C-alpha cells in the first residue's frame, strides 16, 4: 500500500537464510549429475608444450575431459579491445592457478584423482610480480604487442595543470601504495550447467548480472543468446566480484555439452581466492596545489595498478578511482594518468574498496593542506566539496548531491571540531568524504525493463531481471512496486534474475539497481495503474483523473466510500478482453559516446551519491594495535526505500572499507604464489572486531531516481577508509603511506617520527 517507501520492512530472504533453507549453487543437484574438477598451473609463467588427458580419461568413473583443444578459441574481455583471455590456456599460462584442463566424473573425489593423471610438459618462463617491474626495460612480455606490459592507459587532462601549479600557494606531493585484497565472499564460486538435447545451456551460478553472463557465455560457446539461460539462485555476496565472466561456467558448459549430462563444479576456498578475481594493488603519486584560502586549484595524479594476467574490467577499473574523486571535489585543473599493468598474478577486478591507496591519498593531501594553510579538516572539505548543480571536469552534470549536508551530519554527531586537537595522547579523529555514481555507460545492457501482471483475484506478479547478491535488491523493487500500485508488498510475487523469462537488466553492477531497475519497475506499475483506472472509470462512471488506486481498491478521490476492489476491476477487464499487463523501461541519461579510454568525457551517470565518515581511534604505541572507538557515517542516498537495508549496507561498508580495508586485509605472495588463501590466514573483520557504528541517512529527493532514491551504501566503503587513515595519523602524529595499516607499519611510523624528532 502507499507508505511502502521509507519503511524498514523485513527482507523476504532473511528467514530463509537465517534458517539455512536458502539453497545456493553448491547445494543444488540434478538427476544424472556429474562432478567437475580443474587442473591449474603450478607456475606463474610457462609455455605449454604438451597436455595429455588420456590416462585421466581411462580412470573408472571419469566421463569426459576437456582442454583448449575442445574450446572455441574465443577470447574473453569486457570490451572488444580487451579480449585477451581464453578460458582454457592454449599456448601458455600466465599465473599460478590458471585453468589448463578439466574432467567430469561420477564423484568429486574421482574427478580430483583424475587430475593427478593429466600429464603436462612446461617450459618455464621469466615472470614479473609488480607493475613497476613489469614496465621496466627488459621485462618479459606477457601478451604480444603490449608495450612495457601496459594493459590499459587512461589519460584525462583538463585545464592547464603545470601552469596552475605555479599559481598555487601550497603544493605538495604524496606517494601511497596498497596491497591486493580478496573479495572473500562467504559463498565460494560454483557452477551447475545442464546442456539439453536441443543444445540449450542452463546455468546456475552466483552472479551479479544474469543477462551479461548469458551474453558472455553465449559468445564463448558460439551460441545465440537465446540458447543460454542463466537461472535464479541465491548468492552469498559479491562486492564487485561476480559480474565478470569466469572460466568455471565455460568449463562446466563444455563438459556438459560433451557428456550430455548436468555438470557441477564447486571451487575450494583456495580456488575461490586465486582463480576468480582479486582487488588491484596500486602505487599512486599525487601532486595537489591549493590557493592560500584553501581552494583546490590543481591536481596531478599517476596511478600504477597491478592488473594481473588478463584485462577483465580493465578500462573501468583504471578509471573509477579518479572519477569518484572528480565527483567529490571541485578542481579546475586536473591531469590523471592511470596505468593498469599486466603481471604474473591472478586477474584483478572491480571491488567495493577499489582504489584505497588513491582515495586515502586524496584525504591525506587535504589534511596536510589544511594544517599548512591554518584551516581545519572540515573547513577545507566544505570549501572544495562539489555540490548539486555543478559539473565535473569530465563534463558530468550533477543534478542532486547533498555533499555539505553529509559532512555537517557526521561533524555534528561526532563533535569533531570539539575533539580535533583536544583528544588524549594516542587518540585520534579523522574525516573522509567520497562520491559514487549510480550507473555508467554500458551500451545496450545499461538499461532495465520490467513487467507487472495481475491474476484474476488481484494478485500481482512482478517480473524483473534484478539480481540480489545479499544487499536487498529484491525488497527494493518490491517496495517500489507496492508503493506505485497501492497494494501490500505481501501481495506481490517476484520473478527475478532468470534470463529466459525476465527482460534485460544491467544487473547489480555500477550501483545502478535502485536507480535503473527501480525506475523500470515504477514505470511498469504506472503503466498497469493507468490501465486499471481506465477500466474502473467506465464502471464507476467517473473520469480517470478523479480516481485513485490504494489499499487494493479503486476509489473516487475525496470519496473513499465510492470504491471498487482491485480484483473486481481486473475481472471486469478480463470480461472486456483487457488483460492488465504493465510494461516499463528505463535507461539512464548518459552520454553513450563516452568511452573509458578514447573519449572519457560526457555525462557519466544519471545520479550521484555522497558519503562522509568520521572515525575516532586509540593506538597502542607499544604494540601498534589500533582500537576503533566510534564510527559516524552519513550517506546521501536520496530517499531511502528501506532505511534498515541502507544502514546495513553502510555498516558493511565500514567493515570492508575501514576495519578490513585499512587495518587488516591484504594478500601475501611469494613469487606469484598466494600464501593466504584461507579463512585462517586472510584476515577479515569478525563481529567482535567491529566498533560502534552510527549510521546517518541524508535523504534529499533525487530528481531522477524512483521516488527520489539512488545508490545506497557504496559511498561509505571508501569514505570510511579515508577517515580511518586520517584518524590513525591524527593519533600517532604522522601518516602511514602503505595500506593496510598493520601493527608493524604503525610501529614503524611511530619509530620513524621519534627518530626524526630526536636525530
Domain with CATH 3.90.1170.50 in the chain: 29-125+186-237+242-274
Domain with CATH 3.30.365.10 in the chain: 278-441+593-757, 447-586
Residue 1 scores a pLDDT above 70? no
Q: Give the range among 463-467, 707-711, 713-717 with minimum mean pLDDT.
A: 713-717
pLDDT-derived band at 3 (thresholds 50, 70, 90) equals confident
State the Cα–Cα distance between residues 658 and 668, nearest whole angstrom: 19
Alpha helices in 415-552 (DSSP H): 416-419, 473-485, 518-540
Which pLDDT score is estimated for 381? Answer: 98
For 278-441+593-757, the fitting CATH number among 3.40.50.300, 3.30.365.10, 3.40.1390.20, 3.40.50.1000 is 3.30.365.10
Instruction: Please write the tens of the pLDDT for every residue from 336-359.
Output: 999 999 999 999 998 888 889 999
pLDDT-derived band at 701 (thresholds 50, 70, 90) equals very high
Which pLDDT score is estimated for 757? Answer: 79
pLDDT-derived band at 560 (thresholds 50, 70, 90) equals confident
State the Cα–Cα distance between residues 359 and 336, nearest whole angstrom: 14
CATH class of 447-586: alpha beta
Q: Tell me how far CA of residue 280 lies from CA of 130, 262, 283, 420, 590, in angstroms.
A: 11, 35, 10, 33, 27
Q: Is 368 helix (H, G, I), strand (E, B) or coil?
A: helix
Instruction: Please write the tens of the pLDDT for every residue from 511-536.
Output: 889 999 999 999 999 999 999 999 99
Instruction: Please write the tens of the pLDDT for every residue from 645-679.
Output: 999 999 999 999 999 999 999 999 999 999 999 98
pLDDT-derived band at 446 (thresholds 50, 70, 90) equals confident
Instruction: Let me know if domain 29-125+186-237+242-274 sits in CATH 3.90.1170.50.
Output: yes
Mean pLDDT in residue range 391-420: 97
Element (H, E) at 133: helix 131-135
Instruction: Please write the tens of the pLDDT for every residue from 90-100.
Output: 999 999 999 99
Return the higher-pLDDT residue of 756 and 193. 193
Mean pLDDT in residue range 87-116: 98
C-alpha cell at 26: 553448491
The percent of residues above 90 in pLDDT, for the chain, comes to 92
pLDDT-derived band at 243 (thresholds 50, 70, 90) equals confident
Mean pLDDT in residue range 543-568: 92
Q: Is 290 exposed, middle or buried (0-12, 13-18, 19+ CB in 10 A)?
A: buried
Residue 692 CB neighbours (<10 A):
10
Q: What is the overall mean pLDDT for the chain?
A: 95
pLDDT-derived band at 241 (thresholds 50, 70, 90) equals confident
Which pLDDT score is estimated for 352? Answer: 85
Which pLDDT score is estimated for 219? Answer: 95
Residue 759 scores a pLDDT above 80? no
Which pLDDT score is estimated for 638? Answer: 96
Amino acid at each position: 500500500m502507499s507508505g511502502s517507501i521509507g519503511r524498514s520492512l523485513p527482507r523476504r530472504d532473511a528467514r530463509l537464510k537465517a534458517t539455512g533453507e536458502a539453497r545456493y549453487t553448491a547445494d543444488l543437484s540434478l538427476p544424472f549429475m556429474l562432478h567437475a574438477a580443474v587442473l591449474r598451473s603450478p607456475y606463474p609463467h610457462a609455455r605449454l608444450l604438451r597436455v595429455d588427458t588420456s590416462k585421466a580419461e581411462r580412470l573408472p568413473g571419469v566421463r569426459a575431459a576437456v582442454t583448449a583443444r575442445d574450446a572455441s578459441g574465443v577470447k574473453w574481455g569486457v570490451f572488444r579491445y580487451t579480449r585477451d583471455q581464453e578460458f582454457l590456456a592454449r599456448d601458455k599460462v600466465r599465473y599460478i592457478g590458471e585453468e589448463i584442463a578439466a574432467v567430469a566424473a561420477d564423484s568429486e573425489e574421482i574427478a580430483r584423482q583424475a587430475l593427478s593423471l593429466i600429464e603436462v610438459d612446461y617450459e618455464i618462463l621469466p615472470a614479473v610480480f609488480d607493475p613497476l617491474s613489469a614496465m621496466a626495460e627488459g621485462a618479459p612480455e606477457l601478451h604480444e604487442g603490449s608495450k612495457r606490459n601496459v594493459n590499459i592507459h587512461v589519460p584525462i587532462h583538463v585545464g592547464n595543470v603545470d601552469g596552475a601549479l605555479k599559481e598555487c600557494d601550497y603544493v605538495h606531493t604524496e606517494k601511497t601504495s596498497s596491497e591486493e585484497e580478496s573479495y572473500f565472499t562467504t559463498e565460494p564460486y560454483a557452477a551447475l550447467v545442464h546442456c539439453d538435447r536441443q543444445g540449450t545451456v542452463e546455468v546456475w551460478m552466483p552472479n551479479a548480472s544474469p543477462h551479461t553472463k548469458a551474453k558472455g557465455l553465449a559468445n564463448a560457446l558460439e551460441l545465440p543468446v537465446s540458447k543460454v539461460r542463466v537461472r535464479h539462485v541465491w548468492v552469498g555476496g559479491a562486492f564487485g566480484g561476480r559480474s565478470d565472466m569466469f572460466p568455471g561456467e565455460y568449463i562446466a558448459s563444455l563438459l556438459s555439452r560433451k557428456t550430455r549430462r548436468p555438470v557441477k563444479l564447486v571451487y575450494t576456498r583456495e580456488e575461490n581466492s586465486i582463480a576468480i578475481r582479486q582487488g588491484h594493488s596500486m602505487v599512486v603519486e599525487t601532486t595537489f596545489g591549493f590557493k592560500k584560502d584553501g581552494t583546490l586549484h590543481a591536481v596531478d595524479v599517476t596511478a600504477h595498478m597491478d592488473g594481473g594476467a588478463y584485462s577483465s574490467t580493465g578500462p573501468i577499473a583504471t578509471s573509477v578511482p579518479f572519477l569518484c574523486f572528480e565527483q567529490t571535489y571541485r578542481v579546475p585543473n586536473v591531469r590523471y594518468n592511470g596505468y593498469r599493468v599486466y603481471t604474473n598474478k591472478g586477474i584483478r577486478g572491480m571491488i567495493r574498496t577499489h582504489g584505497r591507496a588513491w582515495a586515502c591519498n586524496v584525504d591525506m593531501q587535504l589534511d596536510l593542506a589544511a594544517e599548512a594553510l591554518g584551516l581545519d579538516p572540515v573547513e577545507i572539505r566544505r570549501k572544495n566539496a562539489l555540490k548539486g548543480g555543478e559539473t565535473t571536469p569530465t563534463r558530468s552534470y550533477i543534478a542532486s548531491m547533498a555533499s555539505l549536508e553529509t559532512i555537517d551530519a557526521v561533524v555534528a554527531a561526532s563533535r569533531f571540531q570539539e575533539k580535533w586537537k583536544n583528544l588524549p595522547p594516542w587518540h585520534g579523529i579523522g574525516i573522509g568524504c567520497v562520491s559514487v555514481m549510480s550507473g555508467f555507460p554500458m551500451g545496450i545492457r545499461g538499461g532495465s525493463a520490467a513487467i507487472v501482471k495481475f491474476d484474476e483475484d488481484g494478485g500481482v506478479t512482478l517480473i524483473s531481471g534484478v539480481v540480489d547478491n545479499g544487499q536487498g535488491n529484491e525488497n527494493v523493487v518490491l517496495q517500489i512496486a507496492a508503493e506505485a500500485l497501492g497494494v501490500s508488498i505481501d501481495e506481490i510475487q517476484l520473478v527475478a534474475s532468470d534470463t529466459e523469462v525476465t527482460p534485460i537488466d544491467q544487473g547489480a553492477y555500477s550501483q545502478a539497481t535502485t536507480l535503473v531497475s527501480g525506475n523500470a519497475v515504477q514505470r511498469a506499475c504506472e503503466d498497469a495503474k493507468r490501465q486499471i483506472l481506465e477500466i474502473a472509470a467506465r464502471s464507476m462512471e467517473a473520469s480517470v483523473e478523479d480516481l485513485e488506486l490504494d489499499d487494493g481498491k479503486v476509489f473516487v478521490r475525496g470519496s473513499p466510500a465510492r470504491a471498487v476492489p482491485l480484483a473486481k476491476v481486473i475481472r471486469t477487464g478480463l470480461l472486456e478482453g483487457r488483460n492488465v499487463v504493465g510494461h516499463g523501461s528505463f535507461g539512464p541519461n548518459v552520454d553513450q559516446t563516452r568511452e573509458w579510454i578514447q573519449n572519457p568525457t560526457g555525462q557519466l551517470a544519471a545520479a550521484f551519491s555522497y558519503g562522509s565518515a568520521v572515525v575516532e581511534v586509540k593506538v597502542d604505541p607499544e604494540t601498534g594495535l589500533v582500537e576503533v572507538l566510534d564510527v559516524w557515517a552519513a550517506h546521501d542516498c536520496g530517499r531511502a526505500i528501506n532505511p534498515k537495508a541502507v544502514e546495513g549496507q553502510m555498516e558493511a561498508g565500514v567493515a570492508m572499507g575501514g576495519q578490513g580495508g585499512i587495518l587488516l586485509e591484504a594478500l601475501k605472495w611469494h613469487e606469484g604464489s598466494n600464501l593466504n588463501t584461507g579463512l585462517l590466514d586472510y584476515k577479515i573483520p569478525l563481529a567482535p572486531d567491529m566498533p560502534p557504528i552510527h549510521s546517518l541517512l541524508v535523504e534529499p529527493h533525487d530528481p531522477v531516481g524512483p521516488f527520489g532514491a539512488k545508490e545506497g551504501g557504496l559511498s561509505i566503503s571508501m569514505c570510511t577508509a579515508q577517515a580511518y587513515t586520517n584518524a590513525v595519523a591524527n593519533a600517532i602524529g604522522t601518516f602511514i603511506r602503505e595500506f593496510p595499516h598493520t601493527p608493524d607499519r604503525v610501529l614503524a611510523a611511530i619509530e620513524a617520527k621519534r627518530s626524526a624528532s630526536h636525530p
